């Protein structure tokens, strides 16, 4: 079952079209990677799904409702590129605040802290945490309120490889146990292998959609970075 369906998704910003009619789905229980260089429109695409992007046309349906519908608020966990937590509050104060906005109870705050492995940092002010810890706080907030879809904008950027692997394992656990759909963006092609399926994106268009194996097989390459290059060259060759 698709948790997100986009047909002809276009975004215009300041009179200029930045997403040029995208078609894709996110299925329940899958980790979909959105890969592409920075500036290619990944954040704009994710913001369109969450319903905070202006200038969207085409059809974007999320959990059976049009993106941005009132009923969707609280059903989507969203991590923006900035950590989007309060620097001057402690970890636990941040989580309690967002939990009360969502109407989630206190036991859930503890559950999310454990899940993201932040129990030892619970009383630390966020400003004093490392970049990696901050993005984990942000992720913990996104898990509050039992979301059915997680939209994560570069959640692993700048993290140490061990932590990055742990996070990807967590993403798969979440997708597996609750049938959650996850869409995770990254500009690091190495992360492609960690996703169930990929959207390869460049300059506001999708270059390819499929599993990492499908994409490498189709382009006769061995890794996704080469596949990306082959697709770009093919495209420019045709044009």
Q: Which residues bind another protein (CB under 8 A)?
A: 13-14, 50-56, 68, 73-74, 76, 78, 80-89, 93, 97-98, 100-103, 125, 141
Q: Which CB, 54 or 162, lies closer to another protein?
A: 54
> How many CB atoms are closer than 10 A to CB 38?
11
DSSP three-state, residue 13:
strand
Closest CB 45 distance from another protein, rounded Å: 14
Minimum CB separation from another protein for residue 54, in Å? 4
Contact (CB, 8 A) for 187 and 36: yes
Residue 85 or 118: which CB sits closer to another protein?
Answer: 85
Q: How far is the CB of 238 from another protein (least distance, A)?
A: 32
Q: Are 189 and 37 in contact (CB under 8 A)?
A: no
- Would you say 5 or 81 has its CB closer to another protein? 81
Nearer to another protein among residue 55 and residue 132 (C-beta): 55
Which distant-in-sequence residues (6+ apart) come within 8 Å of 9 by Cβ? 19, 21, 22, 23, 45, 48, 56, 57, 58, 59, 60
Residue ranges of E strands in 126-233: 149-152, 181-186, 197-202, 205-210
Shortest Cβ 167–another protein spacing (Å): 19
Choice between 79 and 118, CB closer to another protein: 79
Residues near 60 by beta carbon (within 8 Å), at least 6 away in sequence: 4, 5, 6, 7, 9, 48, 49, 66, 67
Q: Minimal distance in Å, beta carbon 13 to another protein?
A: 5
């Amino acid at each position: 079952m698709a948790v997100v369906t986009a047909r002809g998704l276009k975004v215009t910003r300041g009179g200029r079209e930045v997403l040029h009619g995208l078609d894709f789905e996110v299925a329940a229980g899958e980790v979909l990677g959105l890969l592409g260089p920075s500036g290619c429109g990944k954040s704009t695409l994710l913001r369109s799904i969450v319903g905070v992007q202006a200038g969207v046309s085409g059809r974007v349906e999320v959990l059976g409702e049009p993106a941005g519908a009132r009923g969707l608020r609280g059903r989507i966990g969203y991590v923006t590129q900035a950590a989007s937590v309060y620097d001057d509050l402690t970890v636990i104060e941040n989580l309690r605040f967002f939990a009360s906005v969502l109407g989630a109870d206190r036991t859930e705050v503890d559950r999310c802290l454990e899940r993201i492995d932040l129990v030892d940092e619970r009383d630390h002010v966020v400003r004093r945490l490392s970049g990696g810890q901050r993005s984990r706080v942000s992720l913990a907030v996104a898990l509050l309120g039992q979301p059915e879809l997680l939209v994560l904008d570069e959640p692993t950027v700048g993290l140490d490889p061990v932590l990055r692997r742990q996070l990807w394992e967590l993403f798969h656990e979440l997708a597996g146990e609750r049938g959650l759909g996850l869409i995770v963006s990254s500009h690091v092609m190495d992360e492609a292998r960690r996703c169930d399926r990929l959207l390869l994106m460049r300059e506001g268009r999708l270059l390819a959609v499929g599993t990492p194996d499908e994409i490498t097989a189709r382009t006769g390459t061995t890794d996704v970075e080469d596949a990306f290059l082959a697709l770009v060259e093919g495209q420019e060759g045709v044009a």
